[in-house]
Structure 1
Amino acid sequence: MILEMAMESLFAVVDIFFVSKIGSEAIATVGLTESVLTLIYSLAIGLSAAATAMVSRRIGEGNRDAAARAGAQVILIAVILSVLIAVPGYFYAEDILTFMASDESVSSVGYKFTRLLLTCNLPILLLWMLNGILRGAGDAATAMRALWIANIVNIVLCPVFIFGFGPIPAFGVLGSGIATTIGRSSGVIYQLWNLFEVGKIVKLRWAMLRPQLNIISTLLRIASGSTGQYLIASASWIFMIYILGQISKEVVAGYTVAIRIIIFTILPCWGMANAAATLVGQNLGAGQPDRAEKSAWRAGFFNMIFMLVISALYLIFAPFLIGIFTTEPVSLHAGILALRILGGGYIFFGWGMIISQAINGAGDTGTPTMLNFIFFWLIETPLAWLLALYLNWGQLGVYWSVIIAESLMAVAAIWVFKRGRWKLVKV
């Protein structure tokens, strides 16, 4: 899981590395678009978790046909969601970008990139959700290979479509979207081939794609908790980048670079958090709640140490790291500030992400959802507006509001976890 999340994070770094060679408008376009795409990622991650849970349960029961039927309904849900997102995404992409950025040059340069990714969102959904099926079937190796294929294709095609090569014209920032879409689609084709043709553990058939409402409703019910948590967090991130967009495109560009670097380190940590959730669930199922608690604390400690090391590296090497992607003075300064300040909160975030996922793993998805709402929307969002725009702290107001909210949420999650009510949840 940790390696898989690390591979997923490569998309973030590769795209921004090549796009940064174009200019601050291009970087800002990617950052603003990515903030909207997090809503799609939230749906994909939540449904991927539901797919893993349902397929693994059917496999455990020895019913591979039922596992395959559940997997097929996951694909059907992805297609339906894709259409619901693609239609408004195609028609309102430019309006979305204009609303998010105060500088009109960003929307005029990048709206085609935003339109492409919103319209062609199916590969994003499927890459996550099909890997959820494969993990549920116990075939993590194929899931990893799919991400390798997607990333390699993306790495090769990004400079080709951005800068042009031979008969292929230079598409600029749009080229990044084309390369990413082709890369993800390549991974999806490999996944589908394994599920429909190879079928080592679970073999799907096209006839299984007929709607089965009982399976669909079960998948949506399972996904609702984790999806809600991600949606709450993602929506707050959109508001953060909206505030930065009112300051300048250069600040958005610097923040985007910093966030891409941070994502590269956080996603593997989410792999550890998901592993902790699995350990908690398994130990509770085995009737060993004390062992479940110890496994969560141990994972939290190791995660904190890892993120503390990363924080130190950010503090020391922030100018070098941001300088790899941009040399524009305002963007460089904004990125350095973001990396150092946000990285400073890693020690709390390292604990908080593990403990929240451990509570999820116990079957209590309601408590982390409530914590996300309180600290992201009742504290972080209004505090960012107050500090950044009302008190004129600018970008510093956004960065400090994130640190304050994340730290308080980590403390609250630890307090809830120590109370131990999660041990009594029945699943």
Structure 2
Amino acid sequence: MKLGKGDLTDSPTRWNRLKLIAFLAIPAVIENFFQTILGFVDTFFVSKIGLAEVSAVGVTNALLAIYFALFMAIGVAANVRIANFLGANLPEKARHISQQAIILAVLFGLFTGVVTLFFAEPLLKLMGIKDNVLRAGALYFRIVGIPSIFMSLMFVLSAILRGAGDTKSPMKVSIGINIIHAFLDYLLIFGFFFIPKLGIVGAALATVIARLLGSMALFYYLKRSTSLAFRRDYWKPDKGHLLELSTLGAPAAGERLVMRAGQIVYFGFIVALGTKAFAAHQIAGNIEVFSFMIGYGFATAATILVGQKIGAGKLNEAKEYAKLATYLSFAAMSILGAMLFFFGNWAGSFFTNDQQVIGNIGTALKISGVFQPFLAVLLVLTGAYQGANNTKFPMYLTGVGMWAIRTVLVYLLGIRFGWGLAGVWLAIGIDIAVRAVVLVVQFQRGKWMALDKAPEAESKCHPQSSKENRSACVNNY
């Protein structure tokens, strides 16, 4: 079932709104769950080849995260603008900008593919890897990175469907291709009957084939969409829409790149704590990642519904959906936080028998559990801000939080004060809490919408043309 115009505009009761949020969020949560589970399977298979291959895939994925930031930025912009236009009952504009987003995705995918072809080794050397890892890494990087157009298309096509209120189709595709990916991993890495053993090349080919199939499946669902089915004349590049998508998406890309750069710096501080501390940090992070599924699921719902309501000029309803999605995520992640707090040591024992490492994992997850409610608020309100066309403020806030709070406190608490891994996770939690509080304050002050980027919503909310009247209307929300 996909959301139609009536579903997105006629939710008069709070109960109906809650059901609509859950309807959109649950498929996104399931999608993230399968990606995480099967990501573990992928890592497990590669680990059977050798440590050099594990390192090669890990370093390559760190570089590909930069590509992901670019592709996801296009997806965020497309998601928001499509939601705005459909909410404003402007389906042709939504269809036009969706096809322009696909053009932009193709251009960025081709660009990153060329970069990978010519600069694979230099980029990997920047990560400081050794020669034995470099050979495997360059081979894997080129096979996966040159056809990164499929990576780009998957991000953007999924975002387009979500912008139209369809979270089920991307979920189905994600589940399907991740299962295929795991199956192909086993066949191509280890060989089977007439299929030769390809090792790390097999792992790379499995990834590319899965993304190719995923792109084809998403195109199929998009062609079937009643509101976004393709028009031939909309494939002509439109400078206005391409610039609009780039401008709106750039801060989202900047936010992720700032986060990634900060992680590289404070990871160095954690490494200085010793091998066992770093291992505990990585394992705790792999366990905690399940909590992000819930937050990102409700953030997806918030982005879609806020975007739709702003497009329709219903700013009170946009604010209500943002609040309800935050409440639901807060409740769900508080429960999960309690589980992390009380069962962290037990979860860590599945990964290692070293009691010191298990103790560090338990400590990290106890601290994480305390801050889970703040993480829920941070993730969902960030999605709401993006749905309200405000991608800049979350980027600025992430930059300040990552560099002025998290990185500094990781050094002070973890290294300088000698609190070790507990200090590291406390620093991360404080950063999350501070950013969550700032987003709430701005939200309550009505400073979370960028209505100048949603002219349809602005005109409906502000029939008067004067700047004073426009400001007065915005401040009511």
TM-score norm. by structure 1 comes to: 0.82
In 2, Cα distance between the equivalents of 1:105 and 1:186?
Answer: 32
Answer yes or no: is the 8 Å Cα contact 1:153–1:183 preserved in 2. Answer: yes
* Alignment equivalent of 2:297, drawn from 266, 271, 278: 271
> Identity across aligned pairs (percent)?
26
Mapping of residues 337-416 of structure 1, within 5 Å: 342=368, 345-384=371-410, 399-416=425-442
Answer yes or no: is the 8 Å Cα contact 2:102–2:157 preserved in 1. Answer: yes
Answer yes or no: is the 8 Å Cα contact 2:294–2:329 preserved in 1. Answer: no
Question: Deviations along 1:250-290, whole A, 9 cap, x unmatched?
Answer: 97776555544433431332111232344555666424277
Answer yes or no: is the 8 Å Cα contact 1:345–1:407 preserved in 2. Answer: yes
1:142 aligned counterpart, secondary structure: helix
* 1:217 alignment partner in structure 2: 243
- Length, aligned pairs only: 423
* 2:11 alignment partner in structure 1: none
Q: Which amino acid in structure 2 is aligned with residue 43 of structure 1?
A: L
In 2, Cα distance between the equivalents of 1:312 and 1:283?
Answer: 37
In 2, Cα distance between the equivalents of 1:18 and 1:52?
Answer: 34
2:156 aligned counterpart, secondary structure: helix
Answer yes or no: is the 8 Å Cα contact 1:39–1:231 preserved in 2. Answer: yes
Any unmatched runs of 5+ in structure 1?
Answer: none
In 2, Cα distance between the equivalents of 1:424 and 1:58?
Answer: 15
In 1, Cα distance between the equivalents of 2:369 and 2:132?
Answer: 30
Mapping of residues 192-271 of structure 1, within 5 Å: 192-196=219-223, 198-205=224-231, 208-241=234-267, 258-271=284-297
Change in Cα spacing, 1:172 to 1:32, as seen in structure 2 (3 Å) is same
In 2, Cα distance between the equivalents of 1:192 and 1:317?
Answer: 43
* 2:194 alignment partner in structure 1: 167
In 1, Cα distance between the equivalents of 2:333 and 2:133?
Answer: 38
In 1, Cα distance between the equivalents of 2:271 and 2:118?
Answer: 22
In 1, Cα distance between the equivalents of 2:276 and 2:190?
Answer: 22
1:322 aligned counterpart, secondary structure: coil
Question: Deviations along 1:315-362, whole A, 9 cap, x unmatched?
Answer: 133324435xxx899998987776666556434322322233334344
Answer yes or no: is the 8 Å Cα contact 1:258–1:322 preserved in 2. Answer: no
Q: Does 1:177 align with 2:178?
A: no
Answer yes or no: is the 8 Å Cα contact 1:25–1:249 preserved in 2. Answer: no
Answer yes or no: is the 8 Å Cα contact 2:397–2:435 preserved in 1. Answer: yes
**Cα offset, 1:188, TM superposition:** 0.6
Residues 402-411 or 129-138, more deviating: 402-411
Any unmatched runs of 5+ in structure 2?
Answer: 1-24, 455-477
* Alignment equivalent of 1:288, drawn from 316, 334, 347: 316
Residues 394-403 or 2-11, more deviating: 394-403
Question: Deviations along 1:181-202, whole A, 9 cap, x unmatched?
Answer: 2112111111223434x45442
* 1:156 alignment partner in structure 2: 183
**Cα offset, 1:154, TM superposition:** 0.7
* Alignment equivalent of 1:190, drawn from 204, 214, 217: 217
In 2, Cα distance between the equivalents of 1:311 and 1:123?
Answer: 36
* 1:31 alignment partner in structure 2: 58
Q: Does 1:304 align with 2:333?
A: yes
Answer yes or no: is the 8 Å Cα contact 2:165–2:304 preserved in 1. Answer: no
CA RMSD of aligned residues (A): 3.8
Q: Which amino acid in structure 1 is aligned with residue 40 of structure 2?
A: V
Question: Deviations along 1:276-316, whole A, 9 cap, x unmatched?
Answer: 34455566642427745742552353243243145236513
In 2, Cα distance between the equivalents of 1:35 and 1:235?
Answer: 11
Q: Does 1:421 align with 2:421?
A: no
Q: Does 1:6 align with 2:30?
A: yes
Change in Cα spacing, 1:120 to 1:307, as seen in structure 2 (3 Å) is farther
TM-score norm. by structure 2 comes to: 0.74
Q: Does 1:144 align with 2:171?
A: yes
Change in Cα spacing, 1:301 to 1:55, as seen in structure 2 (3 Å) is closer
In 2, Cα distance between the equivalents of 1:193 and 1:424?
Answer: 33
In 1, Cα distance between the equivalents of 2:163 and 2:66?
Answer: 23
